[in-house]
Amino acid sequence: MIPSYAYQDIAYLIGSVSFVVGLKMMGQPDSARKGNLVAAFGMAVAVFAALFLNAQGFHIINNFPYIVAAIFLATVIGTMMAKKVQMTAMPEMVSLFNGMGGLSAALIAVIEFHHKTAEASGMSADGMITEFSMPVGVYLAIVSGLIIGTISFAGSVIAWGKLNGKIGDYRMPQQQIINAVVLAAIIALAVAHYGAINSGDFSMSYFYGIIGLAVVYGLIFVFPIGGADMPVVISLLNSFTGVAAATGGFLYHNKVMLMGGVLVGSAGTILTVVMCKAMNRSLLNVLIGMAGGGSGGSSSNSSGGSVREVQATDVAIMMKYASKVIIVPGYGLAVAQAQHVCHELENLLEEEGVDVKYAIHPVAGRMPGHMNVLLAESNVAYDKLVEMEHINSEFATTDVVLVVGANDVVNPAAKTDPDSPIYGMPILEVDQAKQIVVLKRSMKAGYAGVDNDLFYNPKCGMLFGDAKASITKLVNEVKAL
Of 367, 334, 360, nearest in space to 430 by CA: 360
| C-alpha span between 116 and 112 (Å, rounded) | 6
Q: Which residues pair with 123 in a beta bridge?
A: 129
Torsion angle (degrees, nearest 10) of CA 321, 478, 306, 397: -30
Looking at residue 321, its amino acid is: Y
Give, rounded to a whole angstrom, the gap between the first and last alpha carbons of the chain.
74
Q: Which entry of 408, 431, 451, 453 is annotated as an active-site residue?
A: 408
Q: Which residues pair with 325 in a beta bridge?
A: 356, 400
Cα–Cα–Cα angle for 40, 46, 47, rounded to 5 degrees: 90
Which three-class secondary structure state does DSSP give residue 391? Answer: helix
Which three-class secondary structure state does DSSP give residue 305? Answer: coil
Q: How far is CA 98 from the centre of its chain?
A: 9
Q: Which helix (H) or strand (E) holds 246?
A: helix 230-252
> For this structure, is 466 an active site residue?
no
Torsion angle (degrees, nearest 10) of CA 178, 181, 187, 188: -150
Task: Give the Å distances, CA to CA, from 386 to 16, 356, 362, 380.
Answer: 32, 11, 11, 12
Which three-class secondary structure state does DSSP give residue 450? Answer: coil
Q: In what order do the strands lie in the sheet with 435-440?
A: 385-387, 355-360, 324-329, 400-404, 435-440, 460-464
What count of residues does the chain have? Answer: 481
Looking at residue 425, its amino acid is: M
The beta-strand segments (E) located in 27-92 are 53-54, 57-58
φ, ψ of residue 330 to 5 degrees: the values are: -140, -170
Output the furthest CA–CA distance in the chain (Å, rounded): 91
Task: Give the Å distances, CA to CA, from 166 to 159, 162, 163, 237.
Answer: 10, 6, 8, 19
Burial of 430-451, coded b for 16+ CB within 10 Å and e otherwise, reads bbbbebbbbbbeeeebbbbbbb
Q: Catalytic residue numbers? A: 408
